Structure 1
Amino acid sequence: MENNNLENSNEGVCEVFDSHEDAVNRVKKRMSSEEEYAELSEFFKIFGNPTRLKIISLLAVEDLCVCDICDALELNQTTVSNQLRILRANNLVKYQKEGKMARYSLTDLHIEMIYKVGLEHILE
């Protein structure tokens, strides 16, 4: 059994380390800065919460007020408001006051696309 684990640990690894300098140079030119990778990492962390993903999924269908989001998710207003605050702070959602009501929407089509592509990937 130990040998089997050892064989699997080498799976997907080059048997001879001989990098291809031209390919390495091409991809290195296309790399983002460390700061951009750090920002992108923080951005994707926001998608790491099921409640926030549910809110995004609802707002990908249509703009909703907080009460509608609470009812749709069967969650209390405090929970929903806390998650909306995080989404707002990270520029994923925005709201517009309509009298005493706050109607939420996604900030742009990119957020919807990220959600839908991620969902499509896991459903493959």
Structure 2
Amino acid sequence: ARRHGRKLFWVSFLTPCSPSRGDEASATCNGCLVQFAEMSFAPSVYQVQGKWQHSSGGEIEVQPDATGKSVIIVHPTVGKQSMDVMRFLTADGLDYFGFKGKLEGGKITWNNGVVWTKVG
């Protein structure tokens, strides 16, 4: 398997051949066609832990709890909340009580137009 950004690329070979590049959609080698599949994977809690600046003002803090099974989020308007890591970090991105977010670099962009920018 090969990680490339937020995607996991994998391939199964039926014949002993290997492509020249692992990030292509397909490759031909020794007359066989090799096709790659692409799968999404959830961001890590360590990618989102820390302090974030809310686009409307205020600071958000995201931390895993001591067990690593929950994430503690301190939000300027909602307050301190705990949620299961598996519910917060999904294969599609983030889910914060129904709001869907995408992590790209040091920003989380939510489906309500809010952006959290990493500050620490």
Name the TM-score class by shorter chain: under 0.3
The one of the two structures with greater contact order (alpha-carbon pairs below 8 A, sep at least 6) is 1
TM-score by length of 2: 0.21
Which structure has greater helix proportion?
1
Which of 1 and 2 has greater Rg?
1
Which structure has greater strand proportion?
2
